[in-house]
Amino acid sequence: MAQEQVQAPIQEAAPKQEEKQTNCLACNKPLKKVRIYYRDGKFYCTKRCWKDFLDKQENLGKAETK
Ligand SMILES: [Zn+2]
């Protein structure tokens, strides 16, 4: 490894967040038009996934509190 490694070009951070949400925030499944549960500006596939997501958030919050 005599040669210096060429630095990888820095990727653009967060290009555009205008892309439409296509996956469920809870299970990451692609959202289908037929079954979409919309809540608080976010999309989930079912109400259950929304609750799952909320639980996740809660757990994350707990984990961060130290
Ligand atoms: Zn889901």
pLDDT in tens, 5-41: 677 666 655 556 567 889 999 999 898 877 899 998 9
| Distance, CA of 29 to CA of 27 (rounded, Å) | 5
Q: What are the residues facing 60 on neighbouring strands?
A: none
- Is residue 62's pLDDT more than 90? no
Q: How far is the CA of 8 from the centre of ligand 1 (A)?
A: 35
What's the predicted TM-score (pTM) here? 0.55
User: How many angstroms is it from 11 CA to the middle of ligand 1?
Assistant: 30
Ligand 1 centroid from CA 47, angstroms: 8
- CA dist 24 and 40 (Å) reads 13
